[in-house]
Chains A and B, each alone.
Chain A
Amino acid sequence: MLHYLIKRTLILLATLIVASLVVFITIEVVPGDPASYMLGLNAQEDTVAALRAELGLDKSRVARYFSWVGGLVTGDFGTSYTYRTPVADMIRDRMWISLPLAVFALLLSTLIAFPAGVFAASRRGGITDTTVMGLTQLGVAIPNFWFAMLLVLLFAIKLTWFSAGGFAGWDAGFFAAMKSLTLPAIALALPQASILTRVMRSSLLDVMNEDFMRTARAKGLSRRQALWKHALRNAMVPVLTIIGLQFSFLLAGAIIIENVFFLPGLGRLIFQSIASRDLIVVESVVMLLVLAVVLVTFAVDLAYAWVDPRLRSSR
């Protein structure tokens, strides 16, 4: 177990280091100088130089990489080129919309997919199975931002149950805030729930063909008991893999969905920053999202070990 844990941690750190290099180098090759871009065409040369010094742009690339990474580790993300405010502050406010949105959507999708997948698998070939599978076919194919627009049309414009966009803010209370995240979370969750349902079902069906399921039946367990007691946990490995992958899709999807609902999250921040060439913000937000994805992958790896004792002991 310890060996497995150490190996996973080392992989996590290595991935983060290489990812930070990739992000830094990609953004660094940008032609042009942020300082002169910020000050406009008519800026004095010494003003530009002063700003370059202030932003740390006069240092070597290697030095800047290390000060950037060092800042990331200590929570100092640098200063926004455009707003001249600490990037960390800008990110902190917005993160508390994007992250809850992604988590909310992940919860929703898991809560829909588990029962649906088990249900379909246990009634394989029946009408419920066919219906669930048909619906998931649609769910997989629907673009989530279009689905979001349809939700707005129905629930905000026609029924006026929800507001069409905007964020109430956490100050307005938990439920008010969650309410403004509900439609976006549903839009994000449904396509992912469809995928997860399909994976859950097929993984369960695979396990149900295994020899040990026959042993379980020979003990006198009914089909359903065998499914719950023996198949479910064995079917979890592929399901966990998909849940892990989905988190990164959900984060990315959240960036797009925020646009539909005018949520002031990381997605909006990133698009504004691209428009104003505020690259230090782009750099930091991308790195933050990568960190989130890598951490979730790590958590999934640990969950494997929890599900499968073979990983705990042999490796």
Chain B
Amino acid sequence: MNDSLLQLQDLNVSIHDTPILLDVSLQVDAGSVLGIIGESGSGKSMTALSIMQLLPHGSSLSGQIRFDGLQIDSIDEEQMCTIRGNDIGMVFQEPMTALNPVQNIGTQVAECIALHKAVSRAESFKQAAQVLEKVGLPNAQFPLTRYPHELSGGQRQRVVIAIAVALEPKLLIADEPTTALDVTTQEEILQLLKQLVDESDMAMILITHDLAVVSEVADNIVIMRAGKVLDSGPTKTIFNELKHPYTRALYEASSHTPERGAEIKKTSALVEINSLICEYPKARKTFFGPREKFRAVNDVSFKIYAGESVGLVGESGCGKSTLAKALLGLSPIQGGQIHLHGEQLQAGVALSRRVRREMQVVFQDPYSSFNPRHRVGRLITEPLHVLDNQPSSKERQQLIESTLESVGMSGEDADKYIHEFSGGQRQRIAIARALIIRPALIVLDEAVSALDVSVRAQVLDLLAELANTHELAYLFISHDLSVVRSITDRVLVMKDGQIVERGDTEQVFVAPEHSYTKKLLAAAPQLPTSSAQVIGR
């Protein structure tokens, strides 16, 4: 047992006297991959920062951290600096901000090499070039003089990985390394990490909230919740047995399919979009002459029938959000028509109240979706002002109460401010706000993407239930294929501003026709379908 590379024994961490980690014990063997799984607030990132000894100010730590024969928890900062980057490398969640914006990538990788090895400046740059090559950034295309802002998210994450593995550390800690990336990029980065681990005897800790991601890569798994380790063991055993109730709950929530009502009859088209075009002016490159334009939505046509749930899938930048905004009248359109109940909406003219009553929206981020200075009662009644006859204050009160109850909240919540609620509750309130004027269509723009899996399952159930009781149509926009599959009747696959495939959801998922759809489906990490058959690494 003492042979393992890293061993945490009864680790306790608190920040300003708030306990963050409680008796965390785990171990990583040389060359193996440990997956740490947990929802937000589980303490999984703090565990990583404890190993790196990079905890935020005001933290106190007790317990033992043994790494490669060293007692990390008690060595001094100076010695720790020689371990960080050299023996332990770390990759972070957010590639867009993890690199210094004013230094080129070569300098940032070379710095790490020069810091730990006695090599000349020229040599450190030479080695940096080799490392970048190894992580898939060949010098011909990505010279060392590139700045981070000239790279995409996936490419930046490769640079961060290059920094972490430049000195061939014994341990690589990857904290949600793919969460901020698109499905296909996520798959590429996971493959890269897997390959790096396979090629050397480097061990890895992969921290994630996504069971499917871990199941593809990890040898062993630790499941954390509220600062404690609840379950741990070899990946196969964990998924086969689902012994711990929380593990089981997580597993079930991850593959949750809400119960949906009978299929509706497609009688009349609620929304009909014909050859829609949306363009943005690009940033000026030349001073004179017309600005170039970027076509975010390029000749898109589709219909949504009353009571139907339509999915819109695509990766970031494919134009799905622009399309949603155009439909809601929040961004101008450059061509094509949008019909609602057969009536054409005027391009460039503010939508009439009558149209506004029919369409509402729920956004992704439960934290920025509400004015923090208004109470819930005022927040959810905001759309009421498009009604021709304003309800009396008594009617308004009843409406607030009944709407909040219909989304699983209570009428008393109306007097609270938004910061008193959790992410899942906020998303329920956002749905209440959309629901309050009884629209025919709700656009859900990544509405469950920011939620933890267990909360996400509950919100999906709520959406399915509301669709049944209120005859609601949904336009469900998401990058998450499994969620789209579980809640929609039909699906549209979007790429580069165009819809490349459409059809009944099951049809598209089982037998995709377009190569892009196939690629997307192949890239999506798969949860082991039955607990009995886990394919280990």
Chain A, Cβ-Cβ closest to B173: A218
| A202 interface residue per 8 A CB criterion | no
B101 vs chain A, min Cβ distance (A):
6
Per-residue 0/1 for A203-240: is the Cβ within 8 Å of any B Cβ (1 yes, 0 no)? 00000001110111111111000000110011000000
**Contact, CB under 8 Å: A3 / B164:** no
Interface residues of A (CB under 8 A from B): 3, 6-7, 210-212, 214-222, 229-230, 233-234, 307-310, 313-315
11 examples of A-B residue contacts, CB within 8 angstroms = A214-B54, A214-B92, A214-B98, A215-B163, A218-B85, A219-B84, A220-B112, A220-B115, A221-B81, A310-B147, A314-B283
Cα-based distance from A251 to B171 in the complex (angstroms): 58
**Contact, CB under 8 Å: A212 / B286:** no
| B340 interface residue per 8 A CB criterion | no
Cα-based distance from A217 to B55 in the complex (angstroms): 11
**Contact, CB under 8 Å: B287 / A211:** no
B115: which A residues are within 8 A, CB to CB?
Answer: 219-221
Cα-based distance from A248 to B99 in the complex (angstroms): 35
A48 vs chain B, min Cβ distance (A):
51
Cα-based distance from A156 to B98 in the complex (angstroms): 55
Cα-based distance from A312 to B160 in the complex (angstroms): 23
Task: Identify 8 new A-B residue pairs, CB closer than 8 A, beyond the known A218-B90, A219-B85, A219-B112.
Answer: A211-B98, A215-B163, A219-B111, A220-B84, A229-B111, A309-B101, A309-B104, A309-B149
A212 vs chain B, min Cβ distance (A):
5
A217: which B residues are within 8 A, CB to CB?
Answer: 52, 54, 84
B204 vs chain A, min Cβ distance (A):
15
B47-70 CB contacts (< 8 Å) to partner A? 52, 54
Cα-based distance from A220 to B81 in the complex (angstroms): 4
A215: which B residues are within 8 A, CB to CB?
Answer: 90, 92, 98-100, 160, 163
A231 vs chain B, min Cβ distance (A):
9
Interface residues of B (CB under 8 A from A): 52, 54, 77-78, 81-86, 89-90, 92, 94, 97-104, 111-112, 115-116, 147, 149-150, 160, 163-164, 283-287
Cα-based distance from A314 to B282 in the complex (angstroms): 11
**Contact, CB under 8 Å: A222 / B102:** no
In terms of DSSP, what is the predominant structure of the interface of chain A?
Answer: helix
B406 vs chain A, min Cβ distance (A):
40
B89: which A residues are within 8 A, CB to CB?
Answer: 218
A310: which B residues are within 8 A, CB to CB?
Answer: 101, 147, 149
Partner of B286, one of A3, A216, A313: A3
B336 vs chain A, min Cβ distance (A):
31
Identify which of A216, A220, A309, A313 gathers the most chain B CB atoms within 10 Å of its CB: A220
B94: which A residues are within 8 A, CB to CB?
Answer: 211
Given contacts A3-B284, A6-B287, A229-B111, contact A218 B102 (CB under 8 A): no
Cα-based distance from A77 to B439 in the complex (angstroms): 71
Cα-based distance from A221 to B103 in the complex (angstroms): 16
B164: which A residues are within 8 A, CB to CB?
Answer: 218
Cα-based distance from A253 to B171 in the complex (angstroms): 59
**Contact, CB under 8 Å: B283 / A315:** yes
**Contact, CB under 8 Å: B81 / A212:** no
Cα-based distance from A230 to B101 in the complex (angstroms): 9
**Contact, CB under 8 Å: B284 / A314:** no
Chain B, Cβ-Cβ closest to A218: B90
Given contacts A229-B111, A310-B147, A314-B283, contact A212 B98 (CB under 8 A): yes
Given contacts A211-B97, A218-B164, contact A307 B102 (CB under 8 A): yes
Chain B, Cβ-Cβ closest to A212: B100
Given contacts A215-B160, A229-B111, contact A313 B54 (CB under 8 A): no
A211: which B residues are within 8 A, CB to CB?
Answer: 92, 94, 97-98
A219 vs chain B, min Cβ distance (A):
4
Cα-based distance from A314 to B285 in the complex (angstroms): 8
A313: which B residues are within 8 A, CB to CB?
Answer: 147, 149-150
Given contacts A212-B99, A216-B100, contact A222 B54 (CB under 8 A): no
Nearest 4 A/B pairs, CB to CB: A220-B85, A219-B85, A211-B97, A220-B84
Cα-based distance from A216 to B111 in the complex (angstroms): 9
